[in-house]
Amino acid sequence: MNATELNNIGAIILDSSIAVHKELGPGLLESAYQLALKRELGLRGLDVRSRVPVELIYREMPLGKAYEIDLLIEQEIIIETKAVETLHPIFTFQILTYLKLYHQKKLGYLINFNVQYLKDGFKRIVNNF
């Protein structure tokens, strides 16, 4: 998938996230936002998988499932959802690690729904993109 296609999907992800935030508002659990965002993205025609297992490979040896991706969009973009007071910098490292571990994906989004305005909780993360 080329950069233009990834960016077009990113625009749909932003619009969908705003729609979910407008509908539900802040204050719910992360799982509620994951379910609603999965539904919203699906309604907009995107392929969405949730709770995708990520295998840890250490020194070329598979060690089994170590993580779960919240949402995987079109097999290319990783979304990590949060419902926290503030986005801690470790969350950025978390999604970067997911991007590297899951087939060297290039683009991810960190979305915190526990904000007054979603633009304050929406962060684009790139890995060699």
pLDDT, tens digit (0-9, with 9 covering 90-100), for 43-94: 999 999 999 998 888 898 989 888 899 999 999 999 999 999 988 899 999 9
pLDDT score at 129: 65
Give bridge partners of residue 109 from the DSSP assignment.
79, 124
Reading the block at residue 40, the tokens are 């919203």
> Which residue, chain included where needed, has tokens 């699906």?
42
Task: Report the percentage of the chain scoring pLDDT > 70.
Answer: 99
Number of Cβ within 10 Å of residue 30's Cβ equals 17
Give the Cα separation of 33 and 16 in Å (integer).
11
Full domain range(s) for residue 51: 3-126
Q: Is 54 helix (H, G, I), strand (E, B) or coil?
A: strand
Domain count, the chain: 1
Give the containing element (helix H, strand E) for 14: helix 3-24
pTM of the model: 0.92
